[in-house]
Amino acid sequence: MKKIVLSIVSVVSVLIVSESTLAAGESINIRLKNQASQIQKGCNRGQLTKGEKKTLNNEQERIKALIKSLSSDQDFSPEDQKKVHSALNLAGVHIFRQRYNKKSKPQKTK
């Protein structure tokens, strides 16, 4: 009886841990998509120059490379998640600053 209870508890704990890791991965993907959307909106509205867009997109690629390197060992620990979220937080600040600085794309005149 003890063995059955212990095996059930261990299976449930593995499922809970894997679900929380999946949820963390989903939140990271959602944040990456939102940041890409913010960069695109900034370009469409003339808030970002070509150089600013390139810089922000390069930062997004570095974050994706960080995620890939951290998840290569199939163990995406809470410390790894914290590193990625910190990088995403900093990228969000950079996107905001670039979009709302005084520079903008030159408007086309008719």
Per-residue pLDDT 10s for the chain (110 aa) are 666 655 565 555 544 444 444 466 789 999 999 999 999 999 999 999 999 999 999 999 999 999 999 988 778 889 999 999 999 999 999 999 999 998 776 666 55
Rounded to a whole number of angstroms, the CA Rg of the chain reads 20
Q: What is the pLDDT of residue 18?
A: 44
Q: Which residue has the tokens 């998509």?
A: 33
Q: What is the pLDDT of residue 107?
A: 62
**CB atoms near residue 89 (< 10 Å):** 11
Q: What is the pLDDT of residue 53?
A: 96
pTM of the model: 0.73
Separate counts of helices (H) and strands (E) for the chain: 3, 0
Kindly list the domain boundaries of the chain, sorted by start residue: 10-99
Nearest Cα to Cα of residue 28 among 79, 88, 73, 74: 88
